[in-house]
Structure 1
Amino acid sequence: MATVILVRHGRTTANATGLLAGRASGVTLDETGKDQAALTGDRLSAVPVVGVVSSPLERCLETAQFILDRQHGTPYAPVEPDLTECDYGQWQGRALSDLAKEALWPAVQSQPSAVVFPGGESMAAMQSRAVAAVRRHDAAFEAEHGPGAVWVAVSHGDVIKSILADALGMHLDLFQRISVGPASVSIVSYGPARPMVHGTNTEAGDLSWLANGIRSGDAPVGGGAGQRTP
């Protein structure tokens, strides 16, 4: 299959002040977030991506634009509603320090598969729609551009963590063990036998080795020789 680069949006004022922004409108990148997104765009400039698919929320659209501005071509750039933030319902807009006192908080930390946010979405539903969207776009990009195609999905921390958990074969209840920082890059390829995770939560480093895509196949016993930079 094709290769997807999962990019979380850059930092926002809500992130910096400890607020759960959720799906609120008007939440945009702060200056640090813009610098983070620009760096990610620079890292990806060496990779000719065929598409940059984004959550519809402003902070993701801004981050996606930093990536698009640094591409030499004109990648397909649709908005994908199923990559949007979790619907946190009545938790949206509240301080994380206050939410940590809620009775639901321990379940969010240790049993997220059972969590339904009051007036909002379940974490299991969030994972289901996000994974389905990524796999759908991945199959479409491969069908159009071949198995060497590389594309970008710009989304949110919990959403990306849930996609990575699925790719790693982890139960959703373990997804809080995964860290996904602002504007970080994670890399997944969906092969015919299983997904392979080639990187998680990277904030620096050369990505030019992705220029020719990743060919799926058997996992190299012993770890193999690694990727070669073109």
Structure 2
Amino acid sequence: MATVLLLRHGRTTANASGELAGRRPVDLDDAGVSQAERAGERLRQIPLKTVVSSPLLRCRRTVELALPDAEIVEDDGLTECGYGDWEGKQLKDLAKDPLWPIVQAHPSAAVFPNGEAMADMSARAVATVRRWDEKITAEHGPDALWLACSHGDVIKAILADALGLHLDQFQRIVADPASISVVRYTPFRPFVVRVNEGGDLASLVPPKNETAASDAAVGGGAGT
């Protein structure tokens, strides 16, 4: 199966002001623009077969800055969690809401007022990534690399699924602005290759004539 690089959008004006952006059309701030450009320097090291993005402005802008020549396909399955009445509010104020501790400790039970359940967000995000991964594998082979640009909670939910974690554990995962996490899917299990990092990506290109195996390397392996 193919390998997906999960790119979170760069920092936004809402991130900088402590607001929960939700699905509002907030843009990147100056730091976010720089982050997106630096992500592009890393992403251009590798041959991406497909670039898929959340339709929200901050993700589109991030990909356009990072990969100005890429053809971007939007997919609603990668859009932000629907935070409903929480959108646009300060996080410091939301921390006083009775729903806050549920979001922190038991997110699988969290349903945002006039919004989306976190469990539903997780299910549609995972289904979207797996659907695209199967499609790209069928079209380009198991060594294909592709990019999905999305949002913090969405990426954390995808990583939790790949790690075999219950959604209630996904708050243990970090996905910083413009960070890249990597999941390689195989017929038997996903492998989480990288999480929340900004380093060199050239080693993700598989060696010639070598495809990803489903078995884990006993002892940890020699790396790539």
Coarse TM-score class (shorter-chain normalised): over 0.9
Alignment of 1:167-178 (within 5 A): 167-178=162-173
Amino acid at match of 2:202: S
| TM-score, scaled to structure 2 | 0.96
Q: Is the 8 Å Cα contact of residues 46 and 211 (structure 1) preserved in structure 2?
A: no
Is residue 182 of structure 2 the alignment partner of residue 187 of structure 1? yes
Q: Is the 8 Å Cα contact of residues 163 and 192 (structure 2) preserved in structure 1?
A: yes
Aligned to 2:205: 211
Q: Is the 8 Å Cα contact of residues 22 and 92 (structure 1) preserved in structure 2?
A: yes
Q: Which moved more, 1:92-101 or 1:58-67?
A: 58-67
| TM-score, scaled to structure 1 | 0.94
Secondary structure of 1:86's aligned partner: coil
Aligned to 1:10: 10
**Which consecutive unaligned segments of at least 5 residues does structure 1 have?**
none
Distance in structure 2 (CA, Å) of the matches to 1:136 and 1:168: 18
Distance in structure 2 (CA, Å) of the matches to 1:77 and 1:97: 35
Q: Is the 8 Å Cα contact of residues 64 and 70 (structure 2) preserved in structure 1?
A: no
Secondary structure of 2:72's aligned partner: coil
Aligned to 1:151: 146
Post-superposition CA distance 1:114-142 (Å, at most 9, x none): 00000100000000000000000000001
Distance in structure 2 (CA, Å) of the matches to 1:192 and 1:68: 30
Secondary structure of 2:194's aligned partner: strand
Q: Is the 8 Å Cα contact of residues 52 and 68 (structure 1) preserved in structure 2?
A: no
Q: Is the 8 Å Cα contact of residues 189 and 216 (structure 1) preserved in structure 2?
A: no
Is residue 88 of structure 2 the alignment partner of residue 89 of structure 1? no
Aligned to 2:19: 19
Q: Is the 8 Å Cα contact of residues 2 and 150 (structure 1) preserved in structure 2?
A: yes
Aligned to 1:140: 135
**Which consecutive unaligned segments of at least 5 residues does structure 2 have?**
none
Post-superposition CA distance 1:128-160 (Å, at most 9, x none): 000000000000001000001000000000000
Percent of matched pairs sharing the same residue:
58
Distance in structure 1 (CA, Å) of the matches to 2:160 and 2:205: 25
Secondary structure of 2:219's aligned partner: coil
Compute the displacement of 1:216 (Å): 2.8
Post-superposition CA distance 1:27-84 (Å, at most 9, x none): 0111100100111110011101001100000000011112322xxxx65521000100
Amino acid at match of 2:146: W
**CA RMSD between the two structures:** 1.1
Distance in structure 2 (CA, Å) of the matches to 1:168 and 1:23: 27
Q: Is the 8 Å Cα contact of residues 56 and 84 (structure 1) preserved in structure 2?
A: yes
Secondary structure of 1:170's aligned partner: coil
Aligned to 1:33: 32
When the two structures are aligned, how many residues end up with a matched partner? 221
Secondary structure of 1:212's aligned partner: coil
